[in-house]
Chain A
Amino acid sequence: MVLLQLALKNIMGAKLRTWLNIFVLAMSFILIVWGKAIVVGMGDQIIDAMKDVELGYGGQLWHPDYDEEDPLTINDAHGSIPDELVPGIEAGQIVPILMATGNIYPEGKVRSVLIRGISPDQQILDLPSSVLKDRKGVDYPALIGKRMARKNNLAVGDMVTVRWRDTNGVFDAREVEIVHIMNTVVYTVDVGQIWFPLETLQKMLVMPNEATIIALGKDTGIAGDLTGWTYKSLDDLLANVLELLRMKNGGGNIMYGIMFSIALLAIFDTQVLSIFRRKKEIGTLMALGLTRNKVIGLFTLEGSLHGALAFILGGILGFPFFRYFAVKGYAMPIEGDEYGFALGNVIYAKYGADLLIGTTLLLMATVVLVSYLPTRRISKMTPTNALRGR
């Protein structure tokens, strides 16, 4: 009780020191929460976009030879679409996608591309596939993304030569027409990709009724392998993404790590130094008969109170700041493209309860520790040595 009274007195008496400590702690709290919320928001955003645009919500069936990380396997990974899927396909809830490698020749240059066939009537992926529906006078309608268009200087209505090998290994080529340029945050359906109607591509490759992967809508009831097809649950698919994300996320984590270190350094600096500067005071307290444990308790309590006040101040100062970044988002200093992921240019921060509680506990533990340890060390000295302030 007396210790609390003394701690409060010290805190209120040392106005500047108290405010400095609390301010630094509050800023650290804000910085850490914000940094992590951006990283979390970024991850969630990537995953949501991938689900919407590329993965679907019901998992996928993969041809057993398909390996998304090995382009050389793609031309061999195709098989007949099982009959039992036809009703689902017609309803747009099951979406076979056929893939093949090829080249395009924009402005006389040659570029490797992944050619993809998708049903124009599909309902589950957030891709403007309906633009590939039959059009008068367009035999080979093609859909590309804005990055692909920019890179190859292609516009709607442009014709471009596409060359591929069919199922027998024979080269073939056609002039195709760009009918639409889609604006998507998902890099992997855009860069180096060109989309055709599924049936058109099946004809081009001489692979009637075949596909490479089959994306499933939410309620197809399929949750296991079919003959000739391997089932990948959404979690399996995401595991890949998450793994990639973890690797790619280095940038975000480094940013977070730097913020965290700055915060810890600032806390360490203000707390530890302010305690070492109070050596003489500690010596006085001991000389006046405060026991060692009480001295340690007093300073640790002060540290904890700093932490608690910082939490309140951090909440007050942080709330509008946090809100801004949750609602308006954070404009990435790098383009999502350079990041190599499905990223908009604006990241919306996500503050989970675990983040807030975790950061609070972490900072509390830090501030208690950086109060406790130096005080313990000083209070081991004789009062005269502490009083000398050395």
Chain B
Amino acid sequence: MENGTLVKTKGLTKSYPIGGEHFLALKGVDLEINKGDFTGLVGPSGSGKTTLLNILGVLDNPTDGEVEVLGEDVKKIKAVAAARLRSKMLGFIFQTYNLLPVYTVFENVEFPLLILNGWSAAKRKEAVMQALEWVGLTDKVKNRPAQLSGGESQRVAVARAMVKKPQLILADEPTANLDAENSLNILETMQSLNKDLGTTFLFATHDEKVIGFLKRKVTLIDGLIAADEAGAAA
């Protein structure tokens, strides 16, 4: 892998078993994501965006092809190494938020730091409050997920992915439930993380607001890359 390339796939396929059949959700994806990218995966619903993000986030196994993420061969990676990769290097924002229901907003955002060694309580608190400030939720630290609106939950998920300032953030429709103001806030925060820390972002999105921020736009249709072009913010 070249220096500066964080993600590289070659001939990546993913098939899902359905009944006795197999459904090919990814049909041979060749993609490289470089350090510092601010890239969006766009494409119609069902085109395979979430599937691709899950594999790049080492949350799911590819069926065939090559996948390297941050220097690890995803097809061969051991469970412990995958967990380490996810906890240290990757931030994932789920389309369905996946907050931990019994934790408060603060604790949800704190969680990724808690499982990394070397973060003192004071440092954790500072980082969590900073991340909650990015997403405009400092007044909800004590709420539990059940006490949040959809958009607020999504912002917590964004804060949780960003709090440890990982090398690569994979974000699945991070603005789907947000109003224009919150969307812009978050996008600006992401953009400044990208500029200041060099954090790499890969989005799956339909949102025109997001598309307006992209440096690079990859269009996925029916499990294949149909276009790979410069984005509006390039």
Contacts and interface: CB of A to CB of B under 8 A. Distances in A.
B173 interface: no
Interface in B115-149: 115, 144
A292 B86 CA distance: 13
B114 to A, nearest CB: 6
B103 A290 contact: no
Interface string A278-297: 00110111111111101000
A287 B80 contact: no
A280 B80 contact: no
A291 B90 CA distance: 14
B61 A382 contact: yes
Interface in B83-100: 83-88, 90, 92, 94, 96, 98-100
A164 B173 CA distance: 101
A384 B86 CA distance: 13
Q: How large is the interface on A (under 10, 10 to 19, 20 to 34, 35 or more residues)?
A: 20 to 34
Interface string A80-119: 0000000000000000000000000000000000000000
A386 to B, nearest CB: 9
Nearest to A12: B102
A385 B80 CA distance: 18
A280 B115 contact: no
B61 to A, nearest CB: 6
A20 interface: no
B59 A383 contact: yes
Contacts of A227: none
Interface stretch (A3-11, A187-195, A342-350): A3-11
A284 B100 contact: yes
Nearest to A292: B79
Given A288-B87, A289-B84, A13 B103 contact: yes
Contacts of B112: 288-289
Interface in A119-140: none
Given A9-B107, A289-B115, A382-B61, A283 B83 contact: no
Interface in B43-83: 54, 57, 59-61, 79-80, 83
Given A290-B115, A384-B54, 8 more contacts: A284-B98, A284-B100, A287-B59, A288-B92, A289-B86, A291-B83, A382-B59, A387-B94
25 contacts: A2-B114, A2-B115, A6-B114, A9-B103, A10-B102, A13-B102, A14-B101, A280-B98, A281-B101, A284-B99, A284-B100, A286-B86, A288-B86, A289-B87, A291-B79, A292-B80, A294-B115, A383-B60, A384-B54, A384-B59, A384-B60, A387-B59, A387-B94, A387-B96, A387-B98
Interface of B: 54, 57, 59-61, 79-80, 83-88, 90, 92, 94, 96, 98-103, 107, 111-112, 114-115, 144, 160
